[in-house]
Every structure is written in structure tokens, then in C-alpha cells.
């Protein structure tokens, strides 16, 4: 089996469309969506598109899928920006889409040709909010992965692609499809039999112009992020 891993779409419709096109040409058997689907500027368009694949792709839940589907606000200690965007994203989605996000599992394991069993999580194996960053020290990572029996762990959440070895584990972050850092394009990965980190260019100008015409809160921030991806992730 050969698998495409697409993480942290963050409601970027143009980036998702470009990656789905690239996946069609990549000859994969399975697609795994690694969480953080709908928190961003075009949640409804992105969820409508992903729902076409709800029986074909494998989905796991990210931290913002949880906060959007449960409509977390300031009562949970969130800042104004996050609370307002959560609320708005929730309002854009249908009840069925919110239910879909709520019910997603937090992890999945796939047996991949040439790689063996691979564990897919959103943050770390013990939390959807815990970050394994490109520069998190091995000492910090060890307790996060000590209960994992698989040799390969795929995680997201920090929006920067990497391929690291920590002790006897290989840890992969496919990067972010929709809110990338340190990359000019939509980031994802193919697993099996090798591990390939991919960057698919998309029309960031068109995406920005469309968002700026919408009623998305903080649309200027998203448009700017697309045009000028930051060096650091969240
Ligand atoms: Mn996340």
C-alpha cells in the first residue's frame, strides 16, 4: 500500500484542490487526512469538497476540528482571535459536517509497503495539541513517544515539514496543506515504499483575492499568510 498524507488543510480550498490533483497523478492506494480541516478562511467549501471523499479517505481529528465542532469560545480561555474564528467556522458548517468532525478518531495505524506499521496522529501520540516541532529536543520528545510500538510516527500540527530520527523511531511531519510555514506551496507526503515530502505549488494570488472578497474574519491575515508564508509555524 502507498499512502498520501495530507495534514493541516486549515480551510484553504485552493491548496486542497491542488493537492488532490497531484494525488490523482501519484498512484496512491489510500489518502489519510491528518486533522485541522475546517479552521480557516473557507471552511464550508473545504468540508463540502472533503465530504465527497468521506467513505474513501481515512480521517483523524485535529485539535481545531475538536474546538470548531464543540464551538469552544472564550469560556475555554481562548483568545479573541481564536474564539471569534471558531465561532464563525462552526456557523459555516452543516450539522452533519460538525458531527463528522466530532466523531473522528484521534489516531490510526496503517501497514505500508516497505515501511511496516505506521502510526498517524495530529499533535503527539499523547495529545492533539502537543507539538513535536522540527527543533523539539530528543529529551522532550522521548516521553511523548515512549508508549508507541510502531517504528514510524506521522504527526502534524506545527506546519513545518520534517523527517527526523529519535532513538529507534522515524518521525515525519508532512507539513501543512493550507497554512504552510517555510514553504511556497501546499505541503504533504507520500509513504510507501519510501517517504517523500512534497510541495505542490498553487495559485496563492487567486486564493488571496477570493478570500479578501469574502466575509471571513481576519481575511487580511490569511491572505497575507498565503502570499508571504512565515518562517515559523504555530
Ligand atoms: Mn493543529
Tell whether pTM > 0.95: yes
User: Where do the DSSP E strands lie in 97-185?
Assistant: 107-112, 116-121, 152-154, 162-166, 169-173
Q: How confident is the model at residue 74 (pLDDT cuts 50, 70, 90)?
A: confident
Separation of CA 39 and ligand 1 centre (Å): 9
Predicted confidence (pLDDT) per residue in 172-230, tens digit: 999 999 999 999 999 999 999 999 999 999 999 999 999 999 999 999 999 999 999 99
Separation of CA 159 and ligand 1 centre (Å): 8
**What does the DSSP 8-state code read for residue 127?**
B
Q: Is 31 helix (H, G, I), strand (E, B) or coil?
A: strand
Predicted confidence (pLDDT) per residue in 24-57, tens digit: 999 999 999 999 999 999 999 999 999 999 999 9
Residue 82 has pLDDT above 90, yes or no: no
Separation of CA 34 and ligand 1 centre (Å): 9
Distance separating alpha carbons of residues 166 and 26, to the nearest angstrom: 29
Residue 43 · residue 17 · CB < 8 Å: no
**C-beta neighbour count of 103 within 10 angstroms:** 10
Say what the pLDDT of residue 72 is.
79
Separation of CA 131 and ligand 1 centre (Å): 9
pLDDT, greater one: 79 or 53: 53
Distance set, CA 233 to CA 3, 104, 165 (Å) = 25, 24, 20
Separation of CA 156 and ligand 1 centre (Å): 7
Distance separating alpha carbons of residues 150 and 157, to the nearest angstrom: 20
Fold annotation for 3-106+174-227: Purple Acid Phosphatase; chain A, domain 2 (3.60.21)
Amino acid at each position: 500500500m502507498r499512502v498520501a498524507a495530507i495534514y493541516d488543510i486549515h480551510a484553504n480550498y485552493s491548496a486542497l484542490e491542488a493537492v488532490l490533483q497531484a494525488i490523482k497523478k501519484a498512484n496512491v492506494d489510500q489518502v489519510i487526512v491528518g486533522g485541522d480541516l475546517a479552521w480557516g478562511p473557507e471552511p464550508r467549501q473545504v468540508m463540502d469538497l472533503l465530504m465527497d471523499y468521506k467513505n474513501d479517505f481515512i480521517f483523524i481529528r485535529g485539535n481545531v476540528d475538536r474546538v470548531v465542532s464543540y464551538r469552544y469560545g472564550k469560556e475555554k480561555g481562548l483568545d479573541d482571535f481564536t474564539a471569534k474564528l471558531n465561532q464563525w467556522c462552526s456557523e459555516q458548517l452543516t450539522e452533519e459536517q460538525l458531527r463528522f468532525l466530532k466523531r473522528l478518531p484521534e489516531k490510526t495505524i496503517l501497514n505500508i509497503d516497505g515501511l511496516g506499521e505506521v502510526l498517524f496522529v495530529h499533535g503527539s501520540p499523547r495529545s492533539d495539541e502537543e507539538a513535536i516541532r522540527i527543533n523539539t529536543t530528543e529529551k522532550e520528545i522521548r516521553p511523548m513517544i515512549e508508549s508507541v510500538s510502531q517504528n514510524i510516527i506521522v504527526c502534524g500540527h506545527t506546519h513545518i515539514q520534517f523527517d527526523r530520527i529519535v532513538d529507534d523511531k522515524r518521525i515525519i511531519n508532512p507539513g501543512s496543506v493550507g497554512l504552510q510555514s517555510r514553504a511556497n506551496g501546499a505541503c504533504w507526503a507520500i509513504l510507501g515504499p519510501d517517504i517523500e515530502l512534497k510541495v505542490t505549488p498553487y495559485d496563492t494570488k487567486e486564493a488571496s483575492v477570493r478570500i479578501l472578497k469574502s466575509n471571513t474574519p481576519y481575511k487580511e491575515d490569511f491572505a497575507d499568510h498565503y502570499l508571504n508564508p512565515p518562517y515559523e509555524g504555530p
